[in-house]
Amino acid sequence: MKYVIVLGDGMADQPIGELGDKTPLEYAKTPVLDELSAVSEIGMVHTIPDGMNPGSDTANLSVMGYDPKIFYSGRSPLEALSIGVPMLDTDIALRCNIVTLSEEEGIPFEERTIIDHSSGEISTEDCAVLLEAVKQELQNEVYKFYVGTSYRHCLIWDKGHVVELTPPHDVLGQKIGQYLPGDQALYDMMKRSYDILVHHPLNEERKKQGLNPANCCWFWGAGTKPLLKNFEEIHHKKGVMISAVDLLKGIAVGAGMDNISVEGANGGLNTNYEGKAEAAVKALAQDGYDFAYIHVEAPDEMGHQGSVERKVKAIENLDSRVIKVVCDGLEAAGVDFRMLVLPDHPTPICVRTHTSDNVPYLLYDSTGKCRQTAHYNEREAQTTGKFVAKGHELISHLFEEA
């Protein structure tokens, strides 16, 4: 038996008026999920432990079987693992987003508005150029910058301390003053980064092309070096991670799992969906892996953008270009498999950020068809009566562990 998790990041939502009071998951055309629903277990799961922030870090740790109450040490340290940052026990890692702030003339930095947490899903190549300009002026023996993926980068603070910082996607459209760091050095670096980047030639060219400029560093997600238990030792399954996002790759590194990089996979709406699915099929059917975790970032990004149409499209792509390819590929290879489909957390269009609400899951077994009438969506999953209160226990259900 082989095992698959297909994780649609932020896929869950709330009913939306323009969709006829349906959620994007209810409204989207998902023929593959509709077919699987008739022969799958469907229920709800609580992925965010009470009292913890509803981040993709805590939620994906839960889905991977790690209780965030025990294993969570901050988001950025997991990303640092992914990009090979040599963290010391005394280091603090911080996420360094390159964001888009408003550029009104003559107003204080604190009065600017955060327009876009991803700078128009800027490419890694362009963002690396901008981060290099920041490094040249701000990097020293205490603060070191490292290039990540797209707008997501890393700052290592030597002998620092964990400080409370606000994720930029939580305050989109708001003035930034009250959300800036209380730590003066971090505050000053963010302010200085705007001065460095606002008129950078690459940003001037982006504006000419109608693209959002990547004009400020935004620090958040501070934490210490993570210590995860080895996934294979816990579950006796050789696992592989397939994601374009450094956070998920870092969880895999910390868990002793392998990462597969897929060309064209970028964490956006136009990612290489089929490439991810085909990589999972090959890993399971040919390369000796027992478990594949396929992470698709697009629904979450579209939720942050507040785009109903694009979020629906991301879900439809997940259905037809990931789940269908995985099912068809493993069946053609004669491989028995169990597949879990779920979000890590909701990213409702109405708030454009994460919430802690329960999320629906679908568990399909290619060898043991069950029969039920619920479709895979938030509303119908709640009616089945199946509920997993501790998200980190769901993976044991996938693996049929006692």
The correct answer on CATH 3.40.50.2300 for the domain covering 2-71+229-398 is no
Smallest CA-to-CA distance from 36 within 397, 363, 380, 315 is with 363
CA–centroid distance for 146 within its chain = 19
CA 81/CA 54 separation, integer angstroms: 21
Distance, first Cα to last Cα, the chain: 16
CA 214/CA 222 separation, integer angstroms: 21
CA 155/CA 374 separation, integer angstroms: 46
CA 389/CA 402 separation, integer angstroms: 17
Helix (H, G, I), strand (E, B) or coil at 55: coil
Smallest CA-to-CA distance from 80 within 161, 156, 3, 180 is with 156
For residue 268, the number of C-alpha atoms closer than 13 Å in the C-beta half-sphere is 14
pLDDT in tens, 175-218: 999 999 999 999 999 999 999 999 999 999 999 999 999 999 99
CA 363/CA 17 separation, integer angstroms: 29
Helix (H, G, I), strand (E, B) or coil at 222: strand
Q: What angle do CA 311, 324, 122 make, to 5 degrees?
A: 40
Q: Do residues 130 and 54 lie in contact, with contact meaning Cβ atoms separated by under 8 Å?
A: no
Per-residue pLDDT of the chain (402 residues; tens, 9 = 90+): 999 999 999 999 999 999 999 999 999 999 999 999 999 999 999 999 999 999 999 999 999 999 999 999 888 999 898 888 989 989 999 999 999 999 999 999 999 999 999 999 999 999 999 999 999 999 999 999 999 989 999 999 999 999 999 999 999 999 999 999 999 999 999 999 999 999 999 999 999 999 999 999 999 999 998 889 999 999 999 999 999 999 999 999 999 999 999 999 999 999 999 999 999 999 999 999 999 999 999 999 999 999 999 999 999 999 999 999 999 999 999 999 999 999 999 999 999 999 999 999 999 999 987 778 889 999 999 999 999 999 999 999 999 996
Q: Do residues 243 and 295 lie in contact, with contact meaning Cβ atoms separated by under 8 Å?
A: yes
The secondary element (H helix, E strand) that includes residue 29 is none
Ranges for all domains in the chain classified under CATH 3.40.720.10? 2-71+229-398
